[in-house]
A and B are shown apart, each in its own frame.
Chain A
Amino acid sequence: MMTAMFGAVESGVIYAIMALGVYLSFRVLDFPDLTVDGSFVTGGAVASIMIVNGYDPFIATIFALFAGFLAGCMTGLLHTKGGINPLLSGILMMIALYSINLRIMGKPNVPLLAEETVITKIESWFASDWSIFLFMLIVTLMIKVLSDLFLKTEVGLSLRAVGDNEGMVRSFSANTGWMKVLGLGLSNALVAFSGALVAQYNGFSDVGMGIGMIVIGLASVIIGEAVIGNSSIARATLAVVIGAVLYRIIVTLALRIEFLDTGDMKLITAIIVIIALIMPKVLDKQKAAARKKKRLVQLNGEGGGPVA
């Protein structure tokens, strides 16, 4: 049980980078970007094929980041220059990336078990059970802090405003089209970076490993916001990181139920997201009803006797 939990937290920290990417597109830009399902694999594909061909795993992971950036920019261009609806541009890019990822890898699955990866390198530097977790935690928190800082720069502010009120930013001379392209590029760069790390962590990269990734990202964002809140940027990004870890823990717990097996994972994910989306509304309604009851009791108490 403990080892399973530790594994959940460990991989949760790596998936948190992907969730931060989803936060950038979904929350900051208000752009539901399905490219994620494809760019996550692109990251894994680029990194693993470079590692297999003898490149340094750290350099391979950085290249994965750039590949994701390009994929995100393409989606942005389809939407802004091509005038295609946001959802559809993401779906088109996701489908296109499926074939591109196959081309990059040359086959549906590239094993990395015999290769030197970022993970094996870290393990060889710091021989401890905690080394992977701590290293990934530092990397993830660094990305979180960098995102926080970026979103406070002049460019970052107008990027946020694009998701908030596009007409307003345009009237203050920001090129909203390029802002979206940049935002989607950065978002998918993080997603691909996470994909590259996940592939090395799992010891293989698979063309199907991105299926449902956007939903996992959303689940992390929504769970995090429900638990931590999103009153400021720093808090919202922290919520995303914690949400990603919580998601992994919930899935690990769910899989311990005998009746469920690993094939049910996507269903569990979907149910978690549905619950996380509906619960706040149900709670609000209950709170409102409780308030109403209290107010009625107050009124009746002063007026003496119930009102007919």
Chain B
Amino acid sequence: MLEMTQIFKVFYEGTPDEKIALNKVDLSMRPGDFVTVIGSNGAGKSTLMNVISGKLVPDVGTVMIDGGNMTSLPEHKRAVKIGRVFQDPMAGTAPTMTIEENLAIAYNRTKKRSLGFGVTKKRRDFYREKLEMLHLGLEDRLQAKVGLLSGGERQALSLLMATFTDPKILLLDEHTAALDPARAELITNLTKEIVRKLGLTTLMVTHNMQQALDLGNRLIMMDKGQIIFEADEQEKQELTIEKLLAEFQKIKGGGGLSDRSLLS
């Protein structure tokens, strides 16, 4: 479903600040794959997301989605195949517009926008039915402005808006990181439920190792722009946080001196 080959992305090339954000990254996802991505800040996770979504164009390499070459397609054209949820609950919705109007905008992701009304009686019933999936009572507040919702409710709505039109690929960019533990769990469970129900091919970035282990069927770890560890379906089932940390230490420490040996 997603095929990334030999992706290279360098920021500030030729200056002292030069940073290789992605260094020869290959990633392939089959339909229905749910891959979780972990890694420290600056490892290249967000750049990876942005290269897939089209916000960034890779220096070298190709991005194929659903069999089509998307490498140089602008963001809004790729969006026909991609659903996205951002880290910031403010980022995925339009605050001065109502819940039903936001859903109408999302509804048009895969269709050309016309001069027909975005909210009709038939569509409203459809939106209400979809909102019921969230179990938050939003189906009774269709005409409420989204700016009045809490962060958790907004993020749940963003998740619904990104998924109810069956995207070929779902990108989740630390979408629970800005929420309190209870809300984060709610969104995590919703994610699990929606992805399973629709069988979505999903890529999720997270800083929460437990979440990365709980969700999905594959896991990758990134560091310095490279995928340094990969666990397939079977390996992932046996993984624990301790094993992951040990793996990270082994790879990081393997090349040279560790902090401990420097100090002693």
Contacts and interface: CB of A to CB of B under 8 A. Distances in A.
Given A169-B105, A173-B110, A164 B115 contact: no
A234 to B, nearest CB: 13
Contact of B94 (A153, A161, A176): A161
Interface in B81-140: 82, 84, 86, 90-97, 101-102, 104-106, 108-110, 113-119
A154 B97 CA distance: 13
Given A173-B80, A176-B76, A153 B116 contact: yes
B96 A153 contact: no
A160 B92 contact: no
Interface residues of B, number: 34
Contact of B79 (A153, A161, A170): A170
Interface in A148-199: 150, 152-158, 160-161, 164-165, 167-176
B109 A172 contact: yes
B77 interface: yes
B3 interface: no
B119 A158 contact: no
A205 to B, nearest CB: 33
A4 B116 CA distance: 44
Contacts of A152: 117-119
B117 A174 contact: no
A172 B86 CA distance: 13
Interface residues of A, number: 22
Contact of A173 (B79, B90, B119): B79
Binding site secondary structure of chain A: helix
Nearest to B75: A170
B155 interface: no
A153 B108 contact: no
A169 B75 CA distance: 11
A148 to B, nearest CB: 11
Contacts of A169: 94, 105
A156 B118 CA distance: 9
B53 interface: yes
B84 to A, nearest CB: 5
B113 A174 contact: yes
Contacts of A150: 115
19 contacts: A152-B118, A152-B119, A153-B114, A153-B116, A153-B117, A154-B104, A154-B114, A154-B118, A155-B115, A157-B97, A158-B108, A165-B91, A165-B93, A168-B105, A171-B53, A171-B79, A171-B162, A172-B161, A174-B76
Interface of B: 53, 75-77, 79-80, 82, 84, 86, 90-97, 101-102, 104-106, 108-110, 113-119, 161-162
